[in-house]
Amino acid sequence: MKGLHLCNMKKFLNHRLAVSGAIIILVISVFAISAPLISPYQPDDIAIGQYLLAPSAKHWMGTDILGRDLFSRMAYGARISLIVGLVSVCIAVIQGVFFGAIAGYYGKSVDNIIMRFVDIMLCFPNIFLILALVALLEPNIIIIMVVIGATSWMGIARLVRAEILSLKERDFVKAARACGVSDFKIIIRHLVPNAMAPVIVSATLGVAGAILLESSLSFLGIGVQPPTPSWGNILMDAKLSLGIAWWMTLFPGAAIFITVLGYNLLGEGLRDLLLLRK
């Protein structure tokens, strides 16, 4: 077992895409976690007369329209964006694995009901469904995470269902049934762990999508609400100074691009390692 883990680690380290993505994510995560230590100012501190200052030794990324230090807001905003991405994907994975495992294991009418519900959900454009739900509810970080997660599980459910349909006919599952193991334990102990490879890949790519979606919602003004900083609402503030303060769009835009790129690279690398090289 130790040799197998070591072999997998060597494969991962030899995969340039996966390593590049992991490094990017690690750097962004350290930047977010260390925000209280590296931020020279509080993210909501307003400095009178310091509006829209260009990057300098005093303000590394300049200031915004209210005189707030952009570097500090970027650091704290990284926390919000990463938390929203990770938590919403966790919600989607839990839902997708639950429904997909039940549909795949029991099949027949249970499978038909769940898959038709999935088909109905997929008929609605994701962004419009999210906009409708957020408009009905008071937008805050918890609502945003729950809504993104609750509208993103369908693809994972299909992946898990397909894996379970294949796995449930294997000898180890038949042996477990012959020994009197309950359906619940078969699903949890034997089927779901063996069906997680495509879920891990999908979840990694899903974090990138969730971060991009949260940024889009915040940019539209219905995501994470000020004064809480997120990369999306920093970009929203930049609309008011577009053309005269290039740093207001460059830094949050670059942060979103680099973070999404990191998760996409890691996801593509994991796809090659876990799925294509089986």
pLDDT of residue 7: 53
Closest C-alpha to 192, from 103, 111, 275: 103
pLDDT reading at 242 higher than 80: no
pLDDT reading at 95 higher than 90: yes
Range scoring the smallest mean pLDDT among 18-27, 58-67, 134-143, 226-235: 134-143
Range 6-28 burial, b when 16+ CB lie within 10 A, else e: eeeeeeeeebebbebbbebbeeb
Spans of all domains in the chain: 75-276
pLDDT in tens, 66-90: 889 999 999 999 999 899 999 999 9
Cα–Cα separations (whole angstroms), residue 203 to 36, 227, 247: 29, 30, 32
pLDDT of residue 3: 44
pLDDT reading at 237 higher than 50: yes
Identify the three-state secondary structure at position 107. Answer: coil
Quick one: fold of 75-276? MetI-like fold (1.10.3720)
Question: Residue 100: which residues within 8 A CB-CB, separation 6 or more?
Answer: 156, 157, 158, 159, 160, 161, 163, 164, 195
3-state secondary structure 177-233: HHCCCCHHHHHHHHHHHHCHHHHHHHHHHHHHHHHHHHHHHHHCCCCCCCCCCCHHH
pLDDT of residue 189: 87
pLDDT of residue 89: 94
